[in-house]
Structure 1
Amino acid sequence: MILDVDIRHQQGAFALHARFQSDGKLTALFGPSGSGKTTIVNAVSGLVQPDHARIAVQGRVLVDTKKSIDVPKHRRRIGYVFQEGRLFPHLSVRHNLLFGRWFTQRNERKAGFDHVVELLGIGHLLDRRPSTLSGGEKQRVAIGRALLADPQLLLMDEPLASLDDARKSEIYPYIERLRDQGGVPIVLVSHSVAEIARLATSVVVLSEGRVVASGPAAEVLRHTNFFEQGGLTEAGALIEARVLRHDERYELTELQARAGTLSVPRLPHPVGTSLRVRLRARDIILSLRAPEGLSALNVLPGFISSIDEAGGASVDVQLDCGGDPVVARVTRRSVEELGLKSGLAVHAIIKSIAFDPEALGVAGQKNIRNLRP
């Protein structure tokens, strides 16, 4: 188990009582402001001393108040990346990175300087000062500095919150690469459904100091009721697919998933590339029969696995499409008029607007295309 957390902490009028475990490469802590996300990562890092807690990282107990265990923060081997890069303005990028080395004894150093620089695509920045960097470049340098301290866990507290959409798109591919190739598990604090859908392998949803859901990202994100306060329109299913072929004539790419084939706008990936596709519940229309005479290119046959309450006039219809979970948000009236019920065969029609760059995980890919191994 990578992360095992059980915290009870009172801070003024706010009470945190959070318990969860995760073995994901990138665990996202999701919830509105004031839900306890930052308090949790501060307790893990040692910046906050919780009233009652047991915290273990990769089997190493950092805090156990019952046993009077409280490892000093400088010995916890935790990397921390804040909303702002917090780089030393008087040092070059190279020396900002090397500062991370000071926290690890020479014989314990594993992260290679050149490897980290290549992983984050910052080789061309080494001789520059922080004042000359964009927001996304500063955050990549801050991540590199944290990695060069050889942490057992990397905490990232809303590292993209201060960036505009263009800068976020610039840094997304590097965080994905770090997740898949960096060798260090990550905990990411976020209040963006689109962000965690793209990056997370596991999700912990918090509300008013309590954990309301925890598990694999694909499982948690399909329950849209967990995201009512900030991302209801963004929630939905995550499916794994691979690039099957490219249609140069129509500028399309065909993806193969368990649910079937999907035609999407032309992607920069070579044939055989695996990727994650987000199908938002708002972009799915249900039909009892295979549709004819529609402009929609993507129709997936499946069966209704459940119909969940969503509040108000809407419900979430959970589908099993060849083993891939798909969720459609429809009105109660539609459920009644179509006679929708568990076990019924239906067709999920995916709106063409569903396949934007964020849903396909390609926002910012032009900046990293040549970095793929």
Structure 2
Amino acid sequence: MTTTHDLAVIPGDGIGLEVTPAALEVAQAAGRRHGFGFRFTEYDWSCERYRREGAMMPPDGLERLRGHDAIFLGAVGAPGVADHVSLWGLLIPIRRAFRQYVNLRPVRLFEGIDSPVRADIDLVVVRENTEGEYSEIGGRMNRGFPEEMAVQEAVFTRAGVTRVLDYAFTLAGRRGGYLTSATKSNGIVHTLPFWDELVEERAAVHPGVRWDQEHIDALCAKLVLQPSRFDVIVGSNLFGDILSDLAAAVAGSIGIAPSANLNPEREFPSMFEPVHGSAPDIAGQGVANPIGAIWSAALMLEHLGHAAAAEEVVAAIAAVLAKGDVRTRDLGGTAGTRDFTAAVLALLA
């Protein structure tokens, strides 16, 4: 009997409307090869909806998503809608309501891509995804006056830090056995020393993993100068966000960067999305790089229990790039979204 996965699809804004169909077409092709399929339910939750109805999603949006096996998100953001409005109206509520506390961002330098550095790059950034610097605690006072002030509190809990560290150490144990913790405990006096203490505590539970820690400023420099040194990097919400974008750029283009927002216990649906954003400057032109979305779909396939299918999708991406005759503009080529997608699909037929 064929397995059918119930997938919520939120194309969102900008190039999300273009790369999402590409990713889902590839996922379906992989499913046909391996005997599973999808049932898609599409939601038009976006900045366009916000302009029209005053909210990124309806009041019962989270309940609508709750019963799906997974969520695929294209992109969020559009000119005229403040970024904090679009993110806190859709993406962040989903991450938090469904306890997607691991943001997994693999980074790899594929053959055929020109990188700003000369190195072998194959690493994973594990970002804490539900607390840290992106808290809701704070506010503003005395708006418009000379003494106007804004206060934003970071929140690091033992439970929240421990669970993401355990995930990262376990992942490192399955990969190269090496983990790097991003910190800044020399300057941030409370939260990051607490983070460091918990890293050391959890390391004792994972004796097979070699680990070290780097201050975030030095780590950014070393990620550019010595990217092949790293395997698994774990960081707080802010640090993980910055590091994964930096690493993607070092690997050739942020257009290739995937991500998975995971609820490892599978009590709630996990969400998969490319990192690149809505790119309104090229939206509607058919030139967006679909790799980030297609690779995100591969992460989704793996999460749904189809590791072999996921590996084939990533291998197809790698093969097209290695051949070198089909590349999108951000990779120095002239191919469009559809051209690259068709080349991947041809290898999965």
Output the TM-score relative to the length of structure 1. Answer: 0.28
State the TM-score, normalized to the length of structure 2.
0.29
Per residue, is there more strand in 1 or in 2? 1
Rg larger for = 1
